[in-house]
Amino acid sequence: MMGRRKARAWMLGGAVVLGCSGGGGGNDDATAATEGTGVATDAATTAPTTSEGTGEDPTEGEPADCEGPLDPGPAPLRRLTHSQYNNTVRDLFPGVTLPLQTIAVDPKVNGFENNADVQTPSALLIEQYQRAALEVTKAAWASPEAFLPCAADGGGEPQQCGHTFLLDLGARAFRRPLTADEEAAFLGFFDQQLAETNFTVALQLTVQAVLQSPAFLYFLEFGGEPIEGGEAVALTGHELAARLSYFLWDSMPDAQLLAAATAGDLDTVEGLAAEALRMLDDGKARGALVNFHRQWFDFDGVALINPDPATYPTYTPELRTAMRAELDRFVESTLFDGPGTFASLLTSTATDVEATLAALYGVDAPPPGEWAPVSLDPGERSGILTRAGFLARTAHAVHPSPVKRGVFVLARLLCVPPAPPPANVNTNPPDEGEPGQPKTNRERYAKHTAQADCASCHVTIDGVGFGFENYDALGRWRDLDNGEPVDASGALIGTDVDGSFDGAIELSQKLATSTQAHDCVVSQVYRYALGRGTTAADLCSLGDLRAQFAEASGDVHALLLAVVTSDAFRTRKGAP
Distance of CA 95 to the CA centre of its chain: 27
Minimum Å gap between C-beta 408 and other proteins is 13
Of 175 and 381, which has the nearer Cβ to other proteins?
175
User: Considering the rule CB under 8 A, would residue 397 count as an interface residue with other proteins?
Assistant: yes
Q: Which of 200, 513, 515, 553 binds other proteins (CB under 8 A)?
A: 200
Q: Which of 9, 33, 64, 118 binds other proteins (CB under 8 A)?
A: 118
User: Considering the rule CB under 8 A, would residue 214 count as an interface residue with other proteins?
Assistant: yes
Which of the residues 46 through 75 are near other proteins (CB under 8 A)? 46-54, 56, 58
Minimum Å gap between C-beta 196 and other proteins is 8
Minimum Å gap between C-beta 311 and other proteins is 6
Distance of CA 459 to the CA centre of its chain: 30
Q: Which of 27, 81, 204, 541 binds other proteins (CB under 8 A)?
A: 204
Minimum Å gap between C-beta 296 and other proteins is 11
Q: Which of 379, 297, 365, 360 is nearest to 334 (CA)?
A: 297
Of 33 and 126, which has the nearer Cβ to other proteins?
126
Of 358 and 398, which has the nearer Cβ to other proteins?
398
Q: Which of 12, 171, 220, 497 binds other proteins (CB under 8 A)?
A: 220
Task: Give Cβ neighbours of residue 127 (< 8 Å, ≥ 6 apart).
Answer: none
- Give, rounded to a whole angstrom, the gap between the first and last alpha carbons of the chain: 20
Which of the residues 221 through 240 are near other proteins (CB under 8 A)? 222
- Would you give the DSSP letter of residue 94? T
Which of the residues 526 through 565 are near other proteins (CB under 8 A)? 533
Q: Which of 31, 306, 314, 375 binds other proteins (CB under 8 A)?
A: 306
**Under a CB-based contact definition with an 8 Å cutoff, are residues 520 and 414 in contact?**
yes
Q: Is 70 helix (H, G, I), strand (E, B) or coil?
A: coil
Size of the site for other proteins (CB under 8 A): 90
Binding mask 418-437 for other proteins (x = CB under 8 A): --xxxxx-xxxx--------
- Would you give the DSSP letter of residue 358? H
Minimum Å gap between C-beta 71 and other proteins is 17
Of 9 and 201, which has the nearer Cβ to other proteins?
201
Q: Is 502 helix (H, G, I), strand (E, B) or coil?
A: strand
Binding mask 441-480 for other proteins (x = CB under 8 A): ----------------------------------------
Q: Which of 9, 17, 66, 126 binds other proteins (CB under 8 A)?
A: 126
**AA identity, residue 279:** M
Minimum Å gap between C-beta 439 and other proteins is 16
Q: Which of 224, 222, 267, 261 is nearest to 245 (CA)?
A: 261
User: Considering the rule CB under 8 A, would residue 198 count as an interface residue with other proteins?
Assistant: yes
For the chain, helix, strand, coil in percent to 5 are 50, 5, 40
Q: Which of 32, 167, 171, 215 binds other proteins (CB under 8 A)?
A: 215
Please, what is the Cα angle at 499 between 493 and 501, to 5 degrees? Answer: 115
Report the 3 state secondary structure along 174-227. Answer: HCCCCCHHHHHHHHHHHHHHHHHCCHHHHHHHHHHHHCCCHHHHEECCCCCCEC
Q: Which of 255, 310, 450, 452 binds other proteins (CB under 8 A)?
A: 310
Q: Which of 220, 192, 219 is nearest to 206 (CA)?
A: 192
Of 133 and 561, which has the nearer Cβ to other proteins?
133
User: Considering the rule CB under 8 A, would residue 218 count as an interface residue with other proteins?
Assistant: yes
User: Considering the rule CB under 8 A, would residue 41 count as an interface residue with other proteins?
Assistant: yes
Minimum Å gap between C-beta 22 and other proteins is 30
Q: Which of 27, 83, 86, 110 binds other proteins (CB under 8 A)?
A: 110
Q: Which of 96, 132, 209, 232 binds other proteins (CB under 8 A)?
A: 209
**How many Cα atoms occupy the beta-carbon half-sphere of 182 within 13 Å?**
19
Q: How many CB atoms sit inside 10 A of residue 145's CB?
A: 10
**Computed from CA positions of residues 487, 493, 495, 500, in that sequence, does the dihedral angle turn out positive or negative?**
positive
Which of the residues 89 through 108 are near other proteins (CB under 8 A)? 102, 104-108
Please, what is the Cα angle at 448 between 443 and 452, to 5 degrees? Answer: 135
Span interacting with other proteins, options 132-140, 143-151, 268-276, 348-356, rule CB under 8 A:
132-140
Span interacting with other proteins, options 19-27, 185-193, 227-235, 257-265, rule CB under 8 A:
185-193
User: Considering the rule CB under 8 A, would residue 205 count as an interface residue with other proteins?
Assistant: yes
**Under a CB-based contact definition with an 8 Å cutoff, are residues 261 and 237 in contact?**
yes
Burial class (CB in 10 A: 0-12, 13-18, 19+), 12: middle
